[in-house]
Structure 1
């Protein structure tokens, strides 16, 4: 089986290790991975900000870049939701405006072939134990697009629970938004930061070493808050401010990590 990797612009620019981890993971499972070089931003920032017509060229480009691939796999629920849910809406709007069916046809061809990583592993490959080894305590944050948009359900947690050496602890208020929301964080920075602070406080209170997620955009937001909370001159690190157990405060600070990097880890090749 061959798949195309839609790495997303956030991962390409800021978290290339996540894309590398996806390739390592899939190849370990016997999947050949193609990386179409013409892929670019899917247009989610423009679409969410109201620039719908400006998103159309990116829809066309993405559809062409992944033409002919039976499976398009991405380590991002928000970008998967953009291709699967919003691309068809863009096409239908163009049709209502009398601009033909080009965009509708392109979206209809692409959308059914797009899978978020955990969907592909569990639903297509039928695996939950991917042979990973990660001897750490982990808590999982389900990002809104994956939770509410794609309906990922317990797929990510099932994959994490099967990782050798990993202790999975429940995140209080897991279904609450972290406050990122793409351009929401730009337009409403104070509310966004307050929501994110609540999320990292909940994560720190579990005593986990790692706050894991399946979308690096949300993790970037949370990681930034963690770094600022732990910076010199602040009252205390995030764990201490959250009232975490003494053993959590005394150990390594809470860090964020994409789910793919945990699933790709083995005793021979731990994550970076």
Structure 2
């Protein structure tokens, strides 16, 4: 019997890619969202409101084997008021799924739970989030880890870092540079570019998300990342070359922000083990 995976936020920046990857890997997918533009049509589409508070939501959504919870508003607006407003809706939905009998739950986390940090982020790195987005995600993680402690439901909390790819649907610096290139701009205002981050392409990230979600040997907080820091300048210059863009970076146009770490990346030991076990290295 092939597993059925419910993907919430299926039409989002990450969601569309996760749906396609899961289908390509042979799983059945229930895609949950408000609309389904760009979502792989092999999936079963479901527009039922997941934040209705329905205690029977697990049965209503078709009793999937795995839930990959990607649904989140304003992910690119880190201090939007919606992050804290929506928090209890996420908690209610996920706890109702678990109490209904969900065997495995994956929730998308973020490096922004940690706040300022220099060096490698590990699963037990202390968290002191500095944005409403980070605070809400961190609170959701703490709540779930407490409520699922004695539950048969397996929890995977996947902590993502800097995501590249699919610029047309993102709001990253890469998306902004793409727009500036399309607008015919000659230069793009930039910082010093010296800070180092953990960049991962969306396709590779999607493989990691699905691979981590369908296994239960490696659980808890899992960094979905490369573990290889790269300076922002190097990564963006590489992006410009890959795309054959003519636009040039105007280094130093923006000052480096005092709260940006000179270097931060994820410890990939757990995800590397998962990929190795699944022969997806």
**TM-score scaled by length of structure 2:** 0.34
Query: When you count strand as a share of all residues, which structure comes out higher?
Result: 2
Query: When you count helix as a share of all residues, which structure comes out higher?
Result: 1
